Amino acid sequence: MASGDGVEKGIDSEVIPTNFDLLRSVVEEAIEEVCDRLPSHEPKVLHLGSESDAPGNWLVERALIQSLRRRSYRVIAPDTSCAQPNMACADRELLRYRLMNLNLLYPASRRKHLFGSRLVERQVRLHLLLQLSREDGEVLWTGEAKRTGGDWIPAKKLDYAEQESVPFISPQLKTDGWSRFAEPALLSVVIGGFIYLFYTTQ
């Protein structure tokens, strides 16, 4: 993902990820990384559960299930944990997660040059805590995923980027009051300078 000095990279591409694509990508990358640190054990059965009602839980849970299944885990949903036949609930292992933060922001905007198109920065922030424990309360492992990712896109493509609405994400593009007045003033000075030079050289 481009950021900082990588502003120019991919900006003029016709295809950009939507806000939802960008959000999902950051979540999946972070969860893949944290699942790599999960201790291996047998049997590979985990009972998944959330410790909060954060609006983005469904996205985290989806990514966790996919990542764990790729590692050959059998994942049991919380509401069916003890409904499975021949399941010894006292010996089950629980993977709980708490979503501390998941957000997408437009923290900045700028022009490539004086007469260039405006660019908007997109930034996704994720903070996730995980805990693996037995039913009796013994903690086997704790993990944490913190990630910030983003890119720069042309402001004219914001409508496309926002076409897939995310219920808990409503980024607002902040307008820089100084830029609103400084840019037209600077443009007027430049044009005025050209006009002055034109007439003084006749």
Q: Give pLDDT tens digits along the chain (202 positions).
A: 444 444 444 444 468 999 999 999 999 999 999 999 999 877 789 999 999 999 999 999 999 999 999 999 999 986 554 544 445 555 689 999 999 999 999 999 988 776 678 999 999 999 999 999 998 899 999 999 999 999 999 999 999 999 887 877 878 887 654 444 445 544 555 565 556 565 676 6
What is the reported pTM? 0.76
CA proximity to 44, closest of 77, 76, 73: 73
Residue 34, both tokens: 């944290």
DSSP string, 103-120: EEEEEEEEESSTTSPEEE
83-87 own/partner pairs: CB under 8 Å, 24+ apart: none
d(CA 79, CA 98): 17
* Cβ-contact 55, 103 below 8 angstroms: no
The number of C-alpha atoms within 13 Å of 84 and in the hemisphere containing its C-beta is 16
CB burial of 94-131 (b: ≥16 within 10 Å; e: otherwise) equals bbbbebeebebbbeebeeeeeeeeebbbbbbbbbbbbb
Q: Name the token pair of 9.
A: 């990279």
Place of tokens 């593009």: 173
Determine the distance from the C-alpha atom of residue 149 to the mean position of all C-alpha atoms in its chain, rounded to a whole number. 6
> Which letter does DSSP use for residue 40 in this model?
P
